[in-house]
Chains A and B, each alone.
Chain A
Amino acid sequence: MTELYQALAQGLLIGATYGLLALGMGLVYGVSGVVNFSHGDFISLGMFMCLALYSAFAMDPYVSIIITVPLMTAIGALVYIFLIRPMVGHQFLMVVQLTLGLSLVLQNGILMVFGGEPARTPSFVESKLIILGDVVLRVPHIVAFVVSFALAIGLYIMLRSTDFGRSIRAVHQNAHAAALMGINVGRVQVLTFALGIGILALAAALLLPGTPIQPTQGLRYTVITLLVVVLGGMTNFVGIMLGGLIIGIAEAFGTIYLDGPIGLLLPYIIFVAIMLFLPKGLTWSSAR
Chain B
Amino acid sequence: MLEIDNLVAGYGGVPVLRDVNAKIAAGEIVGLLGANNAGKTTLINALSGMVKPISGRILFLGEDISKLTPQARVELGIVQVPEGRLVFPEMSIRENLLLGGINAHARKHRPQQMEKVIGLFPRLGERLTQSAGSLSGGEQQMLAIGRGLMAEAKLLMLDEPSLGLSPLFVQYIFEIIDRLHADGLTILLVEQNLNLTLRHARRCYVLERGQVAVEGDADTVKNDPRTRSAYLGL
Which residues from chain A sit less than 8 Å from chain B, CB to CB?
A: 163, 166-167, 169-170, 173-174, 176-184, 285, 288
**A174-B102 in contact (CB<8A):** no
Instruction: Report chain A residues within 8 Å CB of B107.
Output: 163
**In terms of DSSP, what is the predominant structure of the interface of chain A?**
helix
CB within 8 A of A180: which of B80, B95, B98? B80
B86 at the interface (CB under 8 A from A): yes
A182 to B106, CA, bound (A): 10
17 contacts between A and B (CB under 8 A): A163-B102, A166-B95, A166-B99, A166-B102, A167-B99, A167-B102, A170-B91, A173-B90, A173-B91, A176-B50, A180-B48, A180-B70, A180-B79, A180-B80, A181-B99, A182-B102, A183-B102
Q: Give the CA-CA distance A181 to B80 in the complex, in Å.
A: 8
B70 touches A179 (CB 8 A): yes
A residues within 8 A CB of B86?
A: 174, 176-177, 180
A181 touching B89 by the CB < 8 A rule?
Answer: no
A11–B80 CA distance with the chains assembled, in angstroms: 50
Q: Which 5 A-B pairs have the closest CB atoms?
A: A182-B74, A182-B103, A177-B86, A173-B88, A182-B71
- Looking at the assembled complex, report how far the CB atom of B52 sits from the nearest CB atom of chain A, in whole angstroms: 13
Q: Are A179 and B50 in contact (CB under 8 A)?
A: yes
Closest Cβ of chain B to A49, distance in Å, is 35
B203 touches A (CB below 8 Å):
no
* Contact of B82 with A181 in the complex, beta carbons under 8 Å: no
Shortest Cβ gap from A285 to chain B (Å): 8
A284 to chain B, nearest CB (A): 12
Q: Is the CB of A169 within 8 A of B90?
A: yes
Whether B2 is near chain A, meaning CB under 8 Å from some CB there, is: no
| Residue-wise interface mask of B (14-33) relative to A, using a CB-CB cutoff of 8 A (1 in contact, 0 not) | 00000000000000000000
* Apart from the given pairs A182-B71, A182-B75, 16 other A-B contacts in the complex at a CB distance below 8 Å: A163-B102, A166-B98, A169-B90, A173-B89, A174-B88, A176-B82, A177-B82, A179-B71, A180-B70, A180-B74, A180-B80, A181-B74, A181-B102, A182-B70, A182-B104, A285-B90
- Which residues of chain A have C-beta atoms less than 8 A from B98's C-beta? 163, 166
B100 CB-CB contact with A under 8 Å: yes
Residues of A within 8 A of B103 (CB): 181-182
A251 to chain B, nearest CB (A): 32
User: Chain B contacts of A170 at CB under 8 A?
Assistant: 88, 91, 99
Residues of A within 8 A of B71 (CB): 179, 182-184
CA distance A182 to B151 in the complex (A): 9
Neighbouring B residues of A288 by C-beta, 8 Å = 90
Confirm or deny: B69 has a beta carbon within 8 angstroms of a beta carbon on chain A.
yes
Contact with A along B74-88 (1 / 0, CB 8 A): 110001101000111
Residue with the highest number of chain A CB atoms closer than 10 Å, among B91, B102, B104: B102
Residues on the B chain within 8 Å of A166, using CB: 91, 95, 98-99, 102
Is B57 among interface residues, defined by CB-CB distance under 8 A? no
Give the residues in chain B near A176, CB-CB below 8 Å. Answer: 50, 82, 86
Give the docked Cα–Cα distance between A93 and B48 (Å).
Answer: 32
B74 contacts which chain A residues (CB < 8 A)? 180-182
